[in-house]
Amino acid sequence: MPLIMTRALHILFSACALCLSAHAAKQPNFVIFMADDLGYGDVGYQGGDVPTPNIDSLASSGIQFTDGYVTCPVCAPSRAGMLTGRNQQTFGFWDNIGPYRVDAQTEPGIPVTLPILSERLQALGYVTGLFGKTHDGDAEAMMAFNRWDEFFGFNNGASNFLGDLNHSHNPIFHNKQIVSQFYADRGIHPKTINQNGVLIKDSENYLTDQLADYAIRFIEANRERPFLCYIPFNAIHGPFQAPKELVDQYADEPDRERRIVKAMLDSMDTNIGRVLESLRTNDLLEDTLIIFLSDNGGHEASPSLPLRGKKATYWEGGLRVPFCISWQGKLPGGGRYHHPVSSLDIMPTLIAAAGGRVEPDWQLDGVNLLPYLNGKVTEAPHESLYWVWGPRKAIRSGNFKAVSHNHGKTFELYDLSKDIGEQNNLARQNPELLQHLIQKHSQWEAQLPPQGWGWNSKLGYKDPTFGKPKPYHDPNYIIK
């Protein structure tokens, strides 16, 4: 071969190597879809009775976690665990934010001294956006408009699906700007808009659609840089509301609440599809790691089968949720991962995917799942998972789960590999195993600080401003 040809090939190969190296070093984008109160049996890929083709596409293109857990069966503590990568009790976040706290100085929520996922990724060069529900503290410094680069949504346990139906203490924000135009302030009676959950006007402002609208704009505006797009829908949480044209599509459902919830789920799936199409259109799909999960188990109008229990219980139906991850070209598609994983694992997994490093002083309770999912590590990611909330306690170790509903006075024991519905209590047959699990749980719980706030009046101090407008709820606050 002539020398000139050899040099040409060498230059070509070197250029290709540089391109491949640059591509390999490119930080992936992250999209997290979090549903609200979505039951294990709600999604199509797990036998749900509402078609969810877009959610199902994430499961089929990625990996389904058959045993995917959250850290609490109600929203605020669960979200706090996911956003910090730490069991939320380790920083006093034992319960939903309520009127009671241990003293007047305690500020309920994720402390600003504890970086959340957005702040960890901002330090790695990411632009971050939250589009939906946040319920992580109402002190101004904790608000999403101060911890994310862009925020559209609300800070509360729930919102009407037309934000203008809300009261002034629960507005819809775009960053610090209040964008709600409350019907009450305009002299419009809610019953002319909302008829028993059926929205007969202003369906173009349906909140589920708006969350996707803002998320898509964020993706398109930041397609040239790495981003975290977090979309915590308020669907399918109450109040059960959906546009009439969607509700009418489920007219054959005899139960009124379930009929509306089906329409809400249909809308959420459609809008997840819109976000996925935006990634596809902008040639970002293969550069984006996507996670879908629910914040806790389903409510009373949501199926949890084959699991026992619902939201707010420590049965599997309260803690085990629809959960899948998709990263095309990087993780195998169509897989099912059976070892228990936790929403705590999201933080370290994304940090690793971004090329960052989890420092020991972060004290994370989650693990990076990537080596487990690509087959490099075959053992289970967690030896045990722990839960405590109110009178409820639980531990899962291997296939066995011990659960108490009465402050630990008695425990039940289940082998989830044979009894996913928790029908056969094995406590009497396996007293030594049960005592071992109880002891492990007690040792874990003994390390936790006391509860800082919540709905238990025994905490002592009642906040007189709870549920009332804050200074930043004034529409003119940001320009004063």
Buried b (16+ CB within 10 A) or exposed e, 55-82: bbbbbebbbbbbbbbbbbbbbbbbbbbb
Q: Quote the pLDDT of residue 475.
A: 87
Dump pLDDT digits (tens) for 386-423: 999 999 999 999 999 999 999 999 999 999 999 999 99
**CATH label of the domain that carries residue 233:** 3.40.720.10
The reply to whether 9 falls in a domain is no
Dump pLDDT digits (tens) for 79-109: 999 999 999 999 999 999 999 999 999 999 9
Residues 332 and 419 grouped into a single domain:
no
Q: Which two tokens stand for residue 319?
A: 């803690």
The reply to whether 15 falls in a domain is no
State how many domains the chain has. Answer: 2
Residues 357 and 291 grouped into a single domain:
yes
Q: Specify the pTM.
A: 0.94
Residues 276 and 344 grouped into a single domain:
yes
The reply to whether 21 falls in a domain is no
Contacts of 166 (CB under 8 A, 6+ apart): 154, 159, 160, 172, 180, 182
The reply to whether 207 falls in a domain is yes
The reply to whether 347 falls in a domain is yes
**CATH label of the domain that carries residue 397:** 3.30.1120.10
Q: Tell me which residue of 173, 273, 159 sits closest to 216, measured CA to CA.
A: 273
Q: Quote the pLDDT of residue 373.
A: 97
Residues 251 and 387 grouped into a single domain:
no
450 to 122, 446, 447: CA distances (angstroms): 31, 10, 10
Residues 398 and 271 grouped into a single domain:
no
The reply to whether 6 falls in a domain is no
For the cut 70, the answer to whether the pLDDT of residue 12 exceeds it is no
Dump pLDDT digits (tens) for 238-256: 999 999 999 999 999 999 9
Domain with 418, as residue range(s), is 383-449
Q: Quote the pLDDT of residue 480.
A: 55
Q: Quote the pLDDT of residue 26.
A: 87
Residues 410 and 327 grouped into a single domain:
no
